[in-house]
Structure 1
Amino acid sequence: MTSSTQVQLVSRPRGWPTPEDFRTVSVELPALAPGQVRIRNEFLSVDPYMRGRMSAARSYVAPYAVGETMTGGAVGRVEESTSDDLPVGTLVVHDLGWRDVAQGDAAAFRAVAEVPGAPSSLHLGILGMTGLTAYVGLTAIAGLREGETVFVSGAAGAVGTAVGQIARLLGASTVIGSAGSAEKVALLEGKYGYDRALNYRDAPIREQLAQAAPDGIDVFFDNVGGDHLEAALAAFNDHGRAAICGAISQYNATGPVAGPDNLGNLVTRKLTLRGFIVGDHRELAGEFRERMTGWFADGRIAYDETVFEGIGNAVDAFLAMMRGANTGKMVVRL
């Protein structure tokens, strides 16, 4: 028998999650059935969308069940197999995160290429779902065109650092981002190609964006919502488009949240605000991988990771990510 250490949800958080909402258990795994594989995970992903799954409220994906092991992105290596498609040693990505050892039908795992000189965790970040989210939002949702001005909220996070770089590679003339510290602002401007980065703690973001983009913005990639969406609505040029990816500023609210005070601009400036889920656009995955692989090989893509060590620190990693403690992708190394 093989033991798997797994993290389970034991109560639905109200407001900010706490360590008491989770427990870590040891689960004995049975012998493999025909066509199955056992994976030793190398990295787990913790992501903002997981907060929504801890609630029983309606969302685009089923909530986590109380008392059961949670799921999420992970990358690992096949250590035992009864499948010809995934032999021992194959590197795979899958959704059986929140555990150190995963097991299931081979169809639930996707083989990925080794990246010379880079950690396998990049398949969870810039080369994986994170990068694809940025690409889908800019292309399929916002329809970014060359020469346009882009504003990105949550720009120093996993998706935001990808958005800024991809926007530049797709021909944006100006890329502006927001972050929550002077260190992150300097990183955005110095490493990630942002023309201007704004510390939203320094002054109202609506005022800062008006000064940073006196000629307005054309595309808004939103990871935050709230006052950042309001700021974008005030700064949009006619026919501006927003790709609404997340609203992390509201995920832990315990009551109704006030909406923007300038929604009338949707009409007067003929704007388009469109929410999206990357899983609805998997047809773009091949196109994204081809372009991103080329950009990465050419040295045109930078990345950062914030790494917590061990399955026992997975909850701490998630809570830290929700409070903005990460730069780039937050992962747990096993």
Structure 2
Amino acid sequence: MTTTQRLIRLTRRPSGLPAPDDFTLAEAPFPKPGPGQVLVRNTHFHVFPGLRTLIGGETRDVPLPPLHPGDTLLGPAIGEVVDGPLRKGQLVLHLQGWRDYATPAVDECRPLEGILPDPVAHLAQGSAAYGSLTRLAEVRKGDTVFVTGAAGAVGTLAGQIARLLGAGRVIGSTGSPDKARRLERDLGYDATVLRGAAPIGAQLAEAAPDGIDVVLDTVGGEQLIAAVHAANPGARFALVGALAGQLSPDRAGGSAPTELDTYRLVTRGIRIAGYRGTDHPDVEPEWETRFGDWLRSGDIRFPYTAFRGMERAREALPHLIAGRAFGAAIVEL
């Protein structure tokens, strides 16, 4: 009988960006479910950039608690029910990742009933991209769409979704020539702009000579500034993330100031809105149905970088922040 389990704890609040030594692979007593709880053996969990904010302690307006030294990390996870009120062997989605076994309450578990052909795809971050492109930016046939952070968990799906919704040209941004090639070769992006190469504004002008109609922004900063200048009259901007702030060594993950040209916003009638999933409860089931259909037909791919084993989990967030992941970052147990 197993008497202990492995988990990842925050060792100390990082000075600057997180490093592997800021986390500890620890052993803890094997958990026992209490009344109304389910014992789940985790198989996969998602490493999301928002952990940087939780670790930094700047959690105002964030629906998750801050993490303190000694706390076990958390995040979306998939696992198999071992004991409790749910059927033994049932796959469930919950938020107690970063450990071998979890004990979420029954109402904190979502049974996975085969809507998607691969259960791991439930860890995809496509819902925000789909909701943004259908509810806020409202992609129209023939639109030119610009996706910032195109090689990330949201961006790798956003470009494909935009194309399936009728976009005529899809442009992405990334910081790596290799990722740019993969975006164009594997995920259907027409062009990419490289962060840190020529000025992004000049690259956008070349990639989108007729301007941009839709922007899905996961980054902010200079990329959002350049997108405003490249926008056509009536362009629609959907803000999904703020990685420029979350991944800055000079910030704690809870802010991302950007100076936009409000004159351009007014004279071009540009619409900018931030996307919150809680404002659109109908999006998730709609997205899952379409995502499942697109996966089965081969019209969409779910790219992710796998970190195999709890032994490598300490590296996962630093690797993600350093830009070494393509698509989602997922730990496989």
Please, what TM-score do these two structures have when normalized by structure 2? 0.91
Q: Verify: 1:285 aligned to 2:280, yes or no.
A: no
Q: Which residue of 2 aligns with 1:295?
A: 294
C-alpha displacement at 1:264, in angstroms? 2.3
Shift of 1:206: 1.3
Instruction: Report the Cα distance in structure 2 between the residues aligned to 1:289 and 1:116, rounded to whole angstroms.
Output: 7
Contact 1:91 1:114 in 2 (8 A): no
Gaps of 5+ in 2: none
- Supply the distance in 2 between the matched residues of 1:279 and 1:10 (Cα, whole angstroms): 32
| 2:83 aligned with 1:80 | yes
Is the 8 Å Cα contact of residues 145 and 213 (structure 2) preserved in structure 1? yes
Q: CA deviation at 1:59?
A: 3.7
Q: Which runs of 5+ in 1 are unaligned?
A: none
The residue that corresponds to 1:92 in the other structure is 92
2:17 matched residue in structure 1: 16
Cα distance in 2 for residues equivalent to 1:266 and 1:46: 35
* CA displacement at 1:150 relative to structure 2: 0.5
Report the alpha carbon displacement of residue 42 of structure 1 after superposing the two structures with TM: 0.7
Distance in 1 (CA, whole Å) between partners of 2:237 and 2:117 is: 36
Q: 2:39 is matched with which residue? A: 38
In 2, Cα distance between the equivalents of 1:264 and 1:134? 28
Match of 1:195 among 175, 190, 198: 190
Q: Distance in 1 between matches of 2:91 and 2:307?
A: 21
Which amino acid letter does the alignment assign opposite residue 321 of structure 1?
L
Match of 1:239 in 2: 234
Q: Which residue of 209, 213, 222 maps to 1:214?
A: 209
Superposition pairs of residues 240-259 of structure 1, within 5 angstroms: 240-251=235-246, 252-254=248-250, 259=258
Bigger CA drift: 87-96 or 25-34? 25-34
- Kindly provide the CA deviation profile for residues 261-285 of structure 1, in whole angstroms up to 9, marking residues without a partner as x: 5332111111122122334433311
Aligned-partner SS, 2:160:
helix
**Alignment pair present for 1:71 and 2:94:** no
Shift of 1:66: 3.4
Give TM-score scaled by structure 1 length.
Answer: 0.91
- The secondary structure found in structure 1 opposite 2:262 is coil
Asked which structure has the greater RCO (Cα within 8 Å, sep 6+), the reply is 2
Give per-residue Cα distances to partners, 1:21-66, cap 9 Å, x unaligned. Answer: 3223222245333433211111111011111111222242332233
Return the match for 1:184 from 154, 179, 186.
179
Distance 1:64 1:171, change over 3 A: same
- Change in CA separation of 1:315 and 1:147 when aligned onto 2, cut-off 3 Å: same
1:112-261 equivalences under 5 Å are 112-114=112-114, 118=118, 120-125=119-124, 130-251=125-246, 252-254=248-250, 259-260=258-259
Q: CA deviation at 1:135?
A: 0.5
Q: Distance in 2 between matches of 1:111 and 1:185?
A: 36
Between the aligned partners of 1:116 and 1:238, the Cα distance in structure 2 is: 38
2:62 corresponds to which of 51, 60, 63:
60
The CA RMSD over aligned residues, in Å, is: 2.1
